[in-house]
Amino acid sequence: MAGGKADRPRPGEFELIAELFAPLARNAAGAFGLTDDAALYRAAPGMETVLTVDAMVAGVHFLPTDPPDTVARKLLRVNLSDLAAKGARPRGYLLVTALSEETSMPWLEDFAAGLAADQAEFGISLWGGDTVSTPGPLTLSLTAIGEVKEGAMLPRGGAKAGDRVYVTGTIGDAALGLAVLRDRLPSASEADRAFLADRYRLPRPRTTLGPLLSGVVHAALDVSDGLVADLTHMCDASGLAATIRAADVPFSGAAAAMLVAEADVTFASLLTGGDDYELLLAVPAEEEEAFLAIAAGAGVPVALIGHLEERANRAPETLVRLVDAEGEPIAVPHQGFRHF
Ligand SMILES: [Mg+2]
């Protein structure tokens, strides 16, 4: 039983909304306590609205054993990560829950508590949504709404040849966390297991840094499918290619330990694992100093890992080249997580 709460039958749709979701809309005047057909929202003067949506299916995007409050927070945070990657500040969100027969009331209570915790942390509110039943697995979808100054949204496709490729935080932890939760990293210490599982379950979207980067970076996206796959997306959108120096990619202590101890953990596997929710940024040389000052001011660690270059005759699957410390190419067996 989740959270030690007493189990009880799930009430009907309207009772469920009134009890669990309406309190999450209390601070948003335009949400009308979730009692109207739609919400009302006006962006501040001089601001544009940025919209993003993600869906998560039980057994596909989260594990049935994941604590419900972390499922809720991850659902919210993957969307906040997309807003951060576009330079937008989060304002509110819409939520669709399609409940399976097994979705219990204690599970939903913990789920709503996770949303409440993150609403407080990120200063946003629930604005509306829908609650339905499904004969399939529990399915969740969240649409986040953010604001960015007019014309200031950070594009994927604005990178130029010669731009430096920077990444925030560390790469590969979440993929290792999933491996830990599937009992696939026997050599990991207790502390590393806890750290990596937390990185998988609870992304830290770069909401403070993203909105500061307009005019300083040429292109930005968040790493969700894996560093190589997402950098390939930036290359595609920008008509470029890239070279990444594996030795310069930032790894956590736990990931570095797994690189040494586990045969299955390689540079390539860490760079193609998903769920990092760090920012990948194309920084022009002339803005590099300003960029580094902004990142330091925001308290966000950033690492220079490579550069963007002309595409020449590179095949589509080799747009992102990975090289070792000697400049020799490292083979990447697959590009990253494929959803279909
Ligand atoms: Mg994204």
Ligand 1 geometric centre to CA of 317 (Å): 20
- Determine, yes or no, domain membership for 116: yes
Are 14 and 86 in a shared domain? Answer: yes
Are 176 and 316 in a shared domain? Answer: yes
Are 179 and 258 in a shared domain? Answer: yes
Ligand 1 geometric centre to CA of 222 (Å): 5
**Surrounding residues of ion ligand 1, Cβ less than 5 A:** 82, 222, 224
Helix (H, G, I), strand (E, B) or coil at 44: coil
Are 115 and 189 in a shared domain? Answer: no
Ligand 1 geometric centre to CA of 143 (Å): 13
Are 313 and 220 in a shared domain? Answer: yes
Which H helix or E strand runs over 218? none
Ligand 1 geometric centre to CA of 16 (Å): 31
Are 66 and 209 in a shared domain? Answer: no
Last residue of a domain, one of 124, 149, 174: 149
Range of the domain at 118: 2-149
pLDDT by residue for the chain (340 residues), tens digit each? 444 567 888 998 899 999 999 999 999 989 999 989 999 999 999 999 999 999 999 999 998 889 999 999 999 999 999 999 999 999 999 999 999 999 999 999 999 999 999 999 999 999 999 999 999 999 999 999 999 999 999 999 999 999 999 999 999 999 999 999 999 999 999 999 999 999 999 999 999 999 999 999 999 999 999 999 999 999 999 999 999 999 999 999 999 999 999 999 999 899 999 999 999 999 999 999 999 999 999 999 999 999 999 999 888 888 999 999 899 998 887 655 544 4
Ligand 1 geometric centre to CA of 339 (Å): 13
Contact 63, 183 (CB under 8 A): no
19/3 Cα distance (integer angstroms) = 17
Ligand 1 geometric centre to CA of 247 (Å): 25
Q: At residue 80, what is the residue type?
A: L
- Determine, yes or no, domain membership for 334: no
Q: What is the pLDDT of residue 4?
A: 55
Last residue of a domain, one of 121, 149, 177: 149
Q: What is the pLDDT of residue 200?
A: 95
Q: What is the pLDDT of residue 335?
A: 57
Q: At residue 107, what is the residue type?
A: W
Ligand 1 geometric centre to CA of 224 (Å): 6
Are 137 and 174 in a shared domain? Answer: no
Print the SS3 string covering 288-328: HHHHHHHHHHHCCCEEEEEEEECCCCCCHHHCEEEECCCCC
Ligand 1 geometric centre to CA of 235 (Å): 14
237/63 Cα distance (integer angstroms) = 33
Q: Give 3-state DSSP helix, strand, coil % of the chain, rounded to 5.
A: 40, 20, 40
Identify the CATH number of the domain in which residue 125 sits: 3.30.1330.10
- Determine, yes or no, domain membership for 243: yes
Q: What is the pLDDT of residue 22?
A: 95
58/71 Cα distance (integer angstroms) = 10
Last residue of a domain, one of 98, 121, 149: 149
Q: What is the pLDDT of residue 209?
A: 98
Are 183 and 122 in a shared domain? Answer: no
Q: What is the pLDDT of residue 340?
A: 41
Q: What is the pLDDT of residue 286?
A: 98
Contact 147, 88 (CB under 8 A): yes
Q: What sign has the CA pseudo-torsion 72, 80, 54, 336?
A: negative
Residue 206 forms beta bridges with which residues?
none
- Determine, yes or no, domain membership for 335: no
- Determine, yes or no, domain membership for 34: yes
Are 223 and 74 in a shared domain? Answer: no
Ligand 1 geometric centre to CA of 39 (Å): 25
* CA-closest candidate to residue 62, choices 157, 177, 162, 148: 177
Are 138 and 52 in a shared domain? Answer: yes
Ligand 1 geometric centre to CA of 230 (Å): 8
- Determine, yes or no, domain membership for 105: yes
* CA-closest candidate to residue 283, choices 172, 204, 167: 167
Identify the CATH number of the domain in which residue 177 sits: 3.90.650.10
Ligand 1 geometric centre to CA of 65 (Å): 25
- Number of structural domains (the chain) is 2
Ligand 1 geometric centre to CA of 184 (Å): 27
- Determine, yes or no, domain membership for 337: no
Q: Indicate yes or no: pTM above 0.85.
A: yes
196/174 Cα distance (integer angstroms) = 6
Are 99 and 240 in a shared domain? Answer: no
Ligand 1 geometric centre to CA of 205 (Å): 11
Which one-letter DSSP state was computed for residue 29?
G
- Determine, yes or no, domain membership for 98: yes
Are 125 and 61 in a shared domain? Answer: yes
